[in-house]
Amino acid sequence: MSTRRPDPLAQVSDFDIRLLRIFRSVVESGGFSAAESALGIGRSAISQQMSDLEQRLGLRLCQRGRAGFSLTEEGREVYQSSLQLLSALESFRTEVNGLHRHLRGELNIGLTDNLVTLPHMRITHALSHLKERGPDVHINIRMVAPNEVEQGVLDGSLHVGVVPQANALSGLEYQPLYSERSLLYCAVGHPLFYVDDGQLDDTRLAEQEAIAPTFRLPADVQAHYQALRCTASASDREGMAFLILTGRYIGYLPDHYASFWVQQGRLRALKPLSRFYDLSLVTVTRKGRRPHLVLESFLESLAATR
């Protein structure tokens, strides 16, 4: 019973591809000596690597000696096949690189409300850069409360979110973005609106009806609300602004968000040198997420806008 000889080339390795590139250069240069300058290696090294390729393929590829360099019949066929292989590899490299240059797909991003007035505008700049890189990318923005942003990232309906930093949830990754300062405000019509800061002691402030947020906040920030008499609540900063502007409540708002009403004379900050807190905003993504080229491009752009 005859036994079948195993194929000498069960798989093509990186080493094989490197040898085939050398073989192509030798053939196109017309011999070992002529290929030295093209390859930047000596004739003995070329000869050794050609021998390695022949041994790897189990074929005699060329004749070399006093009569000069010439391909065998098998060598001519291997040369033609190597051109097809190397051309396919180059096409693959070009197409993959093209995917990076021409992004396609969607970016679903969840944002805490009222970040657009931040002077940093890092999110705006990153979205602009993403759209420049991928004109066909479809961007979907969902403006929801921070807990809904985190839940959306967890369940996969959102690719990325931006929320105030609080206790980290399992399954999510958080990266610092920037910080915003919040001041304690009241509106025109409130009893404290025209009271000098020097007359506003802690007791008087604690007597006023105030607003508490229902979204998660760090313990040091929560302490600022615990010092107030919170008789109303809001799920986001816009809701807090609505209530403050009634002239019936005091409450904290980001200074960049409140500045529009301050300039109109409708809001004023109460004791801004002492009644404030700084809150970090973070990007949130899901741990162990699948590779997503559009998302990674957005995160890279976001990191580059520091």
Q: Is the pLDDT of residue 97 over 70?
A: no
pLDDT score at 267: 98
Measured distance CA(164)–CA(82) in Å, rounded: 56
1: confidence class by pLDDT, cuts 50, 70, 90: very low
Tens of pLDDT, residues 35-55:
888 788 888 888 888 888 888
Rounded to two decimals, the pTM is 0.62
pLDDT score at 98: 61
Both tokens of 64, joined, read: 């070399």
Measured distance CA(225)–CA(251) in Å, rounded: 9
* Amino acid identity at 228: L
Both tokens of 9, joined, read: 């080339």
Cβ-contact 48, 55 below 8 angstroms: no
